[in-house]
Amino acid sequence: MPITPEQRAEIDRQRAVETPTRRATVAALEDILYEPVPVLDHGFVRVVDYMGDDSAVVQAARVSYGKGTRKVTEDAGLIKYLMRHRHSTPFEMCEIKFHVKLPIFVARQWIRHRTANVNEYSARYSILDREFYIPAPDQLGAQAVVNRQGRGDVLQGEEAARVLALLRADAEQCYAHYEEMLNLREDGTTLDEGRQGLARELARMNLPLNFYTQWYWKVDLHNLLHFLSLRADTHAQYEIRVYAEAMLDIVRRWVPAVFDAFSEYRMGGAHLSRSGLAVVKRLLAGEAVAQEGSGLSKREWRELMESLGRDA
């Protein structure tokens, strides 16, 4: 399960506390503060702290004292201008801290984004739970033929059942061996009173990458948006994309004007190379352009045509 009864009790205690403050708060984000948003079969993402809001971005851009007499539409217009022209510094003035529970192989992808502060659950000091990720049947994609790091057609029937059985059996066996090496049962009691368990820092190496880990991940808004532009993209691996999609909804609650600008210019927009822009200009002029005379590689041509909604 995503959280334990003890964690649920702690979350309820945190949410019961109300502290008066002069700092900017966001009602829509306060509504879900500390609450875990379920992701995958045992994972979650939850907000545990944040600083700033849409006004903080505007304030930093104008280096002003406060809202004054400005209109919301003026602030939204400035945020769109900043996003459109890639002025990143004002977005760095907002920060957010997440508590994330995720499979280890997803964490190893995630940690490649080296622009956040991270503190991960340590299996040197604590014992990992018997929780591991098993894909849903509709996510059992075969290796893609064209994309070496992507998935192709979904496995079906006996082949899919065999893969699921192997994943579960391997994880169960590895965890059983993990407990045996620690000389502990699942409830924490000693397995064999006459034997000393292996050190936790060594026993953990036997566990596969689909076991769950947890961390706190604190990041500024600019770098969070960069993370989301890559990991919420349809080309991202499904298991990290669902975390990014949950975080996108959190951004929408937290900084709605920034979210709208991000959706418009990043998630919903397209970046053109010099050669790609030249092709678009030729097409607008009514010229028939083919890939061979475009100055673009076959892959670049295909991507450009996809962004324009045309057949390659």
Query: Would residue 204 show up in a list of annotated catalytic residues for this protein?
Result: no
pLDDT at 69 (0 to 100): 53
pLDDT of residue 242 exceeding 60, the answer is: yes
Return the CATH fold of 1-130+212-269.
Gyrase A; domain 2 (3.30.1360)
Please give the average per-residue pLDDT across 182-188, as a whole number.
84
Q: What is the mean pLDDT of the chain?
A: 92
Backbone angles phi, psi at 163, to 5 degrees: -60, -45
Query: What's the pTM value of the predicted model, to 2 decimals?
Result: 0.91
pLDDT of residue 105 exceeding 60, the answer is: yes
Per annotation, catalytic residue among 46, 231, 241, 266: 231
pLDDT of residue 73 exceeding 80, the answer is: no
Q: How far apart are CA 131 and CA 310, in angstroms?
A: 45
Please give the average per-residue pLDDT across 248-275, as a whole number.
95
pLDDT at 3 (0 to 100): 80
Which residues are CB-neighbours of 307 under 8 A, at least 6 positions away? 270
pLDDT at 207 (0 to 100): 95
pLDDT at 31 (0 to 100): 95
Please give the average per-residue pLDDT across 224-231, as a whole number.
97
pLDDT in tens, 118-172: 999 999 888 999 999 999 998 988 887 776 677 778 888 999 999 999 999 999 9
Which residues are CB-neighbours of 92 under 8 A, at least 6 positions away? 220, 221, 222, 223
Beta-bridged to residue 241, according to DSSP, are none
Query: Which residue spans of the chain are classified as CATH 3.30.1360.170?
Result: 1-130+212-269
Q: How many residues does the chain have?
A: 312
Question: Which amino acid is present at 216?
Answer: Y
Token digits of residue 300: 């670049």
Please give the average per-residue pLDDT across 180-186, as a whole number.
88
Backbone angles phi, psi at 218, to 5 degrees: -110, 130
pLDDT at 68 (0 to 100): 56
Share of the chain above pLDDT 90, in %: 75
Token digits of residue 79: 């945020």
Q: Sorting pLDDT into bands at 50, 70 and 90, what band is 184?
A: confident
Q: Sorting pLDDT into bands at 50, 70 and 90, what band is 209?
A: very high
Cβ neighbours, 10 Å, residue 281: 11
